[in-house]
Amino acid sequence: MSSGLAAATPPADTHQRKAERHDVEVVVDLESDTNFYTGLTQNISTGGLFIATQKIKRVGERIHLKFTLPGGSAPIECETEVRWIRENTSLLRTDSSPGMGVRFIDMSPKDAEAIDRFLQGRESLFYDDE
């Protein structure tokens, strides 16, 4: 039947993001209290990122991430919190990859600056007409 995780969509407030999302695909190492595994980013902002993975965690769960941005010399490590999940089930099929949106909650100023520098040279995925 079900894996125990309900298929969810991003919360309504994600349409009012504080930071623009940018397309990027890098391998990310994830570590929780019970697992170590890898996923693949699909997009990133200064506030968080989406991780395409079959090993979806629950909303609110904390995950330690480690990833290196394209052109970056050192890996970025930070604590995150799962904010929303996207799961493909027999009842809900999408063309999008299953995974989870995470919010950065504990990141060094150096790593935050590296993400900001990376994003400054990239085109946004979200355009606000207002």
DSSP secondary structure string, 49-107?
Answer: EEEE-SSPPPTT-EEEEEE--TT-SS-EEEEEEEEEEE---SS---SSPPEEEEEEEEE
Whether 76 maps to a domain, the answer reads yes
Whole domain around residue 87: which residue ranges?
20-120
Q: Count structural domains, the chain.
A: 1
What's the pLDDT score for residue 29? 87
pLDDT-flagged residues of the chain (< 50): 1-17, 127-130
CATH of the domain at 50: 2.40.10.220
Structure-block tokens of residue 98:
């299953």
pTM: 0.72
